[in-house]
Amino acid sequence: MLEVREIAKAYAGPQGPVPVLSGVSLALGAGESLALMGESGSGKSTLMHILAGLEPADAGHVRLGGAEITVASDAARAALRRDRIGLVFQQFNLIPSLTVAGNLAFQARLAGRHDPDWQAMLAERLGLAGLLERMPEALSGGQQQRVAIGRALAVRPELLLADEPTGNLDPETGDRVLDLALELVAETGAAFLMVTHSERLGARLGRRLTLAEGRVA
Amino acid sequence: MSRAAARWAAALGALASHWRRRPLQAAAALLGLALATALWSGVQALNGEAKRAYAEAAAVLEGDRIDRLEPVAEGRLDVATYAALRRAGLAVSPVIEGSLGVGGRRLRLVGVEPLTLPRSALGEALQADGPDIAAFTGPPWAMLASAETLDRLGIAPGSRGRADDGRALPPAVAADRLAPDLLLTDIGAAAALLGPGLTALLIDPEAPASPVPWQEIAGDRLVLVPAAGESGLDGLTGSFHLNLTAFGFLAFAVGLLITHAAVGLAFEQRLGLIRTLRACGVSAREVAGLLLAELALGAALAGALGLVGGWLVAGLLMPGVSATLSGLFGAPVSGGLSLAPGWWVQGLAMSLAGAAIAAGHTLARAYALPPLASARRQDWAASGRRTRRLEAALGLAALAAGAAVWGFGSGLVAGFALMAAMMLAAVLLLPALLAWLLARAARLARGPVAEWAVADSRQQIPGLSLALMALLLALAANIGVGTMVESFRTTFVDWLERRLVADIYVSPARAEQEAPLGAWLAARPETAELLGLRRTEIRLGAERLELMGRPAAPAYREGWPLLEAAPGAWDRLAEGTGLLVSEQLSRRMGLGLGDAVVLPAPGGAWPVAVVGIYADYGNPRGEATVGLAAMEARWPGARFDGYGVRLVPGTDTGPVMAAIEAAFGLGPDELVDNAGVRRFSLRVFERTFAVTAMLNLFTLGVAGVALFASLLTLSDLRLASLAPVWAAGVPRRRLAALELGKTLALALLTAVLAIPLGLGLAWLLVAVINVEAFGWRLPLHLFPGQWLWLIGLTAVTALAAAALPMLRLARLPAARLAKIFAEER
């Protein structure tokens, strides 16, 4: 499903390039879940952005179901994200101009796979059924994150990537949101990679991979 | 440095660092204020210069600041009458005034008698720059003129120029406070140049009242022209200056919208910093004070830039304004520019006041911000809906207030009040209207991207509303003024077509050529009709006007542009019982069809009735027309004004003109064909409206800058809205194209909404302002082609304004967009 080989990435610094990732490799099969852990600045988010095709890698390969992400054009990477990847961020990043229903349906409609029944089921399971006509600004943090998860899963992705999805939520709400995500991922058979600081949350996923100074520890 | 000063310096440094990091935003804030100041102060400079010129003209007798006695009929007043009045104890001073050709130009020559001249009429020119009295009053006399006029005539101070007829002028003296094209000399010199006889007697307002009323001595020959209290030109041109001021104010408001948007956005972006400063022990008062200091510094800088810009704008427009004022009002204004110190001070004050207006709300918010307030930016959407409702309510209130003023008031002030109310209401209602239109459009949108684009456009309205308001104002002003000018042009061209009834116009400078020329022309086989023309100047009440004598010939009967006519108007003109009056005169004197008028003919009062009212565009003076034969009978001295020759259809004008030229040796000014007159008139017309066109363009340019500045400053904020869409799989190039399309759509919607507003403005200009300003009312024509052109221009402006932010988006490194997901929004 997801195959990552020798990924390297550096950012430009005042004294020359600053390496962020060096020789990172991993593999994740359908239905598997992986917690990507490490201290702040260890390169977790950068790796997730590369996996999602949001940022290019300097070296290495990322393959998703046979498609090479690292060498794909901007448009091809956008198409991959649209059709095969679900993304959840710490800051929710909902589309502020669309209602909850609009946000839930957005990516699935872009991918041409909008399934109203599936969306209604997701909304029900995520506790959003009564909030469908609200705008994102009128939701609590927990509600917004549930919308973000629903939006990512509405497309029935092959790979769900989540960057600290509970980082902005209190522990109780965070646990509930993660429970829901794991349940739904299991039902869809997607591969799930979650970036987290939390040992407790990381322990709930199938495997763990820790990064330290840009390398697999 | 005290601890407080150190704290302030550190805090100000932190606040100012925002601008260092966002130079384009800083440039937008400064540019807005600088443009506002430039256009406002530019217009003020133009107005000030023109008013100074009127004051100069008025200071030398022409102005109606002193009561004067003038002859009832055309002609001069004899010296004996003057002497009789003086002997009776009346403090009157003689004046000879006339037109003199010098260096190929027609100049106004005024001759005064300095010993009896009232002190208040003396004018600064004579008091400050005048030569000593002996040199002025005795041969070879002295001739005062502004340095600019002397320079134009090629006469050096101290030297003697020559009139076009070869006569020597008195030695020239430069006097800078004199109006352009004015020559001031002693009455003796003026009599030598203009002929004997006086044109007016000034009544000294400071002298004690005479025991004998002037009426007893010369009541049958003189008429009292009372002082108007202010320069006649001031009153006449007031509307024109009000128009200019309105334009300046409009541009000022548009400029302030830019600054308001940039300063408001900077505040939103600095909320986190302000919270940190408060947390670090800087009080709310200190934060507000520091923001005020920052604002004052910025305003001073923008004001200085704006004043330089204003000076350039005024310099650029001054020749056009001068042409307009002389073309429409006959006001002598030089094309030069000299700025008083007060202008600079006023410009800076306007810049500071403008900055305070643009940023007052922001400062108040900074002051009231609780120290632990969330640094989350104000939610554009939530505040947008609330603000929209408030704005719409205020807009409707403004409309109601405008209607009330219009209902209860009248004239120019009510017209301008309604115009201001209409524009205010329109800008306040714009966001609500756009939101409503986009809500309707959302129903038609198909597909997730289209639906998102429409929804996102709605959410963008609060951020762009100020720029769109600026665009609306500029476009409406363009449509309004453009429609007025084009309506005027259409009417004017048609009027010119009908007014120029002859194929050739012959106006010999030498009066002795009149009779032989007339006989020669009448005998030519090519001549179908020979239309003689005479004119004289008369006074009706306090109104000085030109009385024309025209034959009631078929040429006039067929096409003369009468706005209203009684049955058999031309027959009554021919009989000598009818009078045609110009539209301006009819409005000024309240004359309508059938009204009786007594004309002061030299041979006695001549009662006539108004039988027609005709359009007389571009003539600053009132005019009336009687039958030629009747005029020749009643005014034997009426000046011959030339012949209009109607040729037999199919005749080429060229050979006929060549024959006239050969037979009578006439120059190009004395012989001109129909096309030549038309060409000249249209050139004057175009020149007259050049200033308006340029101000229009400036305002549209400022609105373009407003749109550009808003889009640029918002582009960083927009990333937060675009990043999730990009993450969901919409490529950056497509997003950039969508952003461009959305900006274009908002701008075009605004342009469409500007059309009805612009037409409302055009109606006000044509039906109210113009009538007050010029005395004529035009039919309103619609020019859809002009709207399309403006819509096209709006599209280009919007595309140009959106291009840079969109290019940045399209080329934005993916890492920058991805970073959005890790940033606090």
pLDDT in tens, B703-727: 777 777 777 666 666 777 788 888 8
Alpha carbons A115 and B335: distance in angstroms, whole number: 74
Question: Are A82 and B729 a contacting pair at CB < 8 A?
Answer: yes
Question: Is the model more confident about B388 or about A29?
Answer: A29
Residue B1 CB neighbours (<10 A): 8
Domains of chain A, by residue range, sit at: 2-216
Q: Where are the alpha helices (DSSP H) in B643-731?
A: 653-664, 674-688, 690-727
* Phi and psi, residue B217, nearest 5°: -90, -45
Per-residue pLDDT for B581 more than 80?
A: yes
Of B808, B801, B799, B807, the C-alpha closest to B707 is B801
Find the CB nearest B732 among A11, A74, A83.
Answer: A74
Question: Is the model more confident about B779 or about B206?
Answer: B779
Question: Are A91 and B823 a contacting pair at CB < 8 A?
Answer: yes
% of chain B surpassing 90 pLDDT: 8
User: Would you say B466 and B705 are in contact if contact means Cβ atoms under 8 Å apart?
Assistant: no
Alpha carbons B606 and B233: distance in angstroms, whole number: 31
Alpha carbons A14 and B298: distance in angstroms, whole number: 32
Question: Are B448 and A106 a contacting pair at CB < 8 A?
Answer: yes
Two tokens at B442?
């959302």
Of B33-37, B687-691, B803-807, the least confident = B687-691
Contacts of B448 in chain A (CB under 8 A): 105-106, 109-110
Mean pLDDT of chain B: 79
Q: Give the mean model confidence (pLDDT) for residues B50-77.
A: 65
Per-residue pLDDT for B379 more than 50?
A: no
Question: Are A109 and B379 a contacting pair at CB < 8 A?
Answer: no
Contacts of B820 in chain A (CB under 8 A): 91, 93
Question: Are B448 and A110 a contacting pair at CB < 8 A?
Answer: yes
pLDDT attached to residue B377: 46
Q: B35 to each of B30, B51, B361, B365, how far by Cα in Å? A: 8, 24, 21, 26
Q: Give the mean model confidence (pLDDT) for residues B65-74.
A: 72
Domains of chain B, by residue range, sit at: 1-62+260-377, 66-227, 508-669
Q: Chain A residue with minimal CA distance to B446?
A: A109
Distance between B380 CA and the closest CA of chain A, angstroms: 10
pLDDT attached to residue B62: 43
User: Would you say A155 and A86 are in contact if contact means Cβ atoms under 8 Å apart?
Assistant: yes
Q: Which of A20, A91, A113 to mutate to test the interface with B (most CBs of B within 10 A)?
A: A91
Distance between A86 CA and the closest CA of chain B, angstroms: 8
Contacts of B718 in chain A (CB under 8 A): none
pLDDT in tens, B167-202: 888 998 887 667 777 888 888 888 888 888 888 888
Q: Give the mean model confidence (pLDDT) for residues B443-457.
A: 88
Residues contacting residue A183 through CB under 8 Å, at least 6 positions apart: A125
Per-residue pLDDT for B253 more than 60?
A: yes
pLDDT attached to residue B495: 82
Per-residue pLDDT for A33 more than 70?
A: yes
Compute the C-alpha angle B452/B458/B459, nearest 5°.
Answer: 85
pLDDT attached to residue A101: 92
Chains A, B: CB pairs < 8 Å: 100
Distance between A204 CA and the closest CA of chain B, angstroms: 24
User: Would you say B451 and A114 are in contact if contact means Cβ atoms under 8 Å apart?
Assistant: no
Alpha carbons B470 and A52: distance in angstroms, whole number: 42
Q: Give the mean model confidence (pLDDT) for residues B2-11.
A: 74
Question: Are A91 and B824 a contacting pair at CB < 8 A?
Answer: yes
| Residue range A2-216 in CATH 3.40.50.300 | yes
pLDDT attached to residue B1: 59
* Phi and psi, residue B504, nearest 5°: -135, 140
pLDDT band for position A13 (50/70/90)? confident
Question: Are A93 and B824 a contacting pair at CB < 8 A?
Answer: no
pLDDT attached to residue B823: 53
Q: Give the mean model confidence (pLDDT) for residues A67-80.
A: 83
Distance between B35 CA and the closest CA of chain A, angstroms: 34
Question: Are B723 and A93 a contacting pair at CB < 8 A?
Answer: yes
pLDDT attached to residue B371: 54
Per-residue pLDDT for B266 more than 80?
A: no
Q: Chain A residue with minimal CA distance to B825?
A: A91
DSSP-derived secondary structure for B752-778: HHHHHHHHHHHHHIIIIIHHHHHS---
Per-residue pLDDT for B641 more than 90?
A: no
Q: Which long-range contacts (CB under 8 A, 24 or more apart) does B77-80 make?
A: B77/B197, B77/B198, B77/B199, B77/B200, B77/B201, B77/B221, B77/B222, B78/B197, B78/B198, B79/B196, B79/B197, B79/B198
Amino acid (1-letter code) at residue B652 = D
Q: Chain A residue with minimal CA distance to B723?
A: A93
pLDDT attached to residue B129: 52
pLDDT attached to residue B122: 55
Residue B367 CB neighbours (<10 A): 15
Segment of B7-11, B127-131, B352-356 carrying the highest mean pLDDT: B352-356
Among left, alpha and beta (phi > 0; psi -120 to 50; other), residue B332 is beta
Alpha carbons B771 and B777: distance in angstroms, whole number: 5
% of chain B surpassing 70 pLDDT: 85
Per-residue pLDDT for B622 more than 70?
A: yes
Q: Give the mean model confidence (pLDDT) for residues B486-500.
A: 82
DSSP-derived secondary structure for B782-814: --HHHHHHHHHHHHHHHHHHHHHHHHHHHH--H
Residues contacting residue B285 through CB under 8 Å, at least 6 positions apart: B367
pLDDT band for position B624 (50/70/90)? very high
Alpha-carbon torsion, ordered B532, B538, B541, B542, to 10 deg: 120
Interface of A with B (CB under 8 A): 11, 45, 49, 52, 54-56, 74-75, 78-83, 87, 89-91, 93-98, 102, 105-107, 109-111, 135, 137, 151, 163
